[in-house]
């Protein structure tokens, strides 16, 4: 079953006095439930643009995008915000944690927006923190944590509400190689244990090696789609 359907999507950026930039050109991709997939390509290939469109952070110039059965290219701002809150998890390159909140409070944030009770929020987050090795840091604030620890909190925040898909934009870019590999291995384990769909934008060979499927973009077009054989 497809969790994400991208159908002939194009994205054009226009600025007065400058030539239009075609970031994406009639891209079509289907992402199945439970996939661990990477969008690869050189800088300017369109991979982050595509990730942002799937996440509803930007709108396509043409084509259609469906996430968990919802046509987000036709949704209003309020409905789109609700879909992002409930069905899409985000992991950003710069972590995007709220500095005045503790690790637990950051991870609980989406659940609070969803109206989940305080006791249930704490139960879910503490269980997840125990699983991913963050239990001892639950009361720490981001500035007291390493980059790898902050990104683990970001992963916890992204998955604790069991979204349909988690979008990770260059999640290892600010991490050293060993920390980045440990983070991706963790996400791989969570993908297998919980059936969560992960989609990365990356040019990191380590991430590409661990992905089950790699969709390559060049100049805004799909240049390859490789599904790896199960071990």
User: Mind listing the domains of the chain with CATH numbers?
Assistant: 2-227 (3.40.50.300)
Region 59-68 average pLDDT: 95
Q: What value does the mean pLDDT of the chain take?
A: 93
According to the model, what pLDDT value does residue 148 have?
A: 92
Question: What residues contact residue 144 under an 8 Å CB cut-off, 6+ apart?
Answer: none
For residue 95, pLDDT over 90 is answered with: no
Region 69-91 average pLDDT: 92
Exposure letters 48-71 (e unless 16+ CB within 10 A, then b)? bbbbbbbbbebebbebebbbbebe
For residue 124, pLDDT over 80 is answered with: yes
Q: How confident is the model at residue 230 (pLDDT cuts 50, 70, 90)?
A: low
Question: Could you report the per-residue pLDDT of 135-161, keeping only the tens digit for each?
Answer: 999 999 999 999 999 999 999 999 999
According to the model, what pLDDT value does residue 228 have?
A: 82
According to the model, what pLDDT value does residue 9 have?
A: 97
SS3 168: strand
Sign of CA dihedral 104, 105, 109, 113: positive
pTM for the model stands at 0.91
For residue 44, pLDDT over 60 is answered with: yes
For residue 169, pLDDT over 80 is answered with: yes
For residue 17, pLDDT over 80 is answered with: no
Helix axes 103-113, 147-159, angle to 10 degrees: 20
Rounded to whole angstroms, the Cα distance separating 78 from 70 reads 14
Backbone conformation region of residue 199, classed left if phi is above 0, alpha if psi is from -120 to 50, else beta: beta
């Amino acid at each position: 079953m497809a969790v994400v359907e991208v159908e002939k999507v194009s994205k054009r950026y226009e600025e007065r006095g400058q030539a239009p930039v075609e970031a994406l050109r009639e891209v079509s991709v289907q992402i199945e439930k439970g996939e661990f997939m990477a969008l690869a390509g050189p800088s300017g290939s369109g991979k982050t643009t595509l990730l942002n469109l799937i996440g509803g952070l930007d709108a396509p110039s043409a084509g259609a995008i469906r996430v968990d059965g919802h046509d987000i290219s036709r949704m209003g701002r309020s409905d789109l915000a609700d879909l992002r809150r409930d069905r899409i998890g985000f992991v950003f390159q710069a972590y995007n944690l709220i500095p005045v909140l503790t690790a637990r409070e950051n991870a609980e944030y989406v659940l609070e927006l969803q109206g989940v009770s305080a006791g249930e929020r704490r139960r879910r987050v503490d269980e997840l923190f125990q699983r991913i090795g963050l239990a001892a840091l639950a009361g720490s604030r981001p500035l007291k944590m390493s980059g790898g620890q902050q990104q683990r909190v970001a992963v916890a925040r992204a998955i604790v509400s069991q979204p349909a898909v988690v979008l990770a934009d260059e999640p290892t870019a600010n991490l050293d190689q060993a920390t980045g590999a440990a983070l991706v291995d963790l996400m791989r384990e969570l993908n297998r244990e919980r059936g969560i769909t992960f989609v990365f934008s990356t040019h990191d060979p380590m991430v590409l090696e661990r992905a089950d499927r790699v969709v390559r973009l060049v100049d805004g077009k799909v240049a390859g789609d490789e599904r790896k054989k199960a071990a």
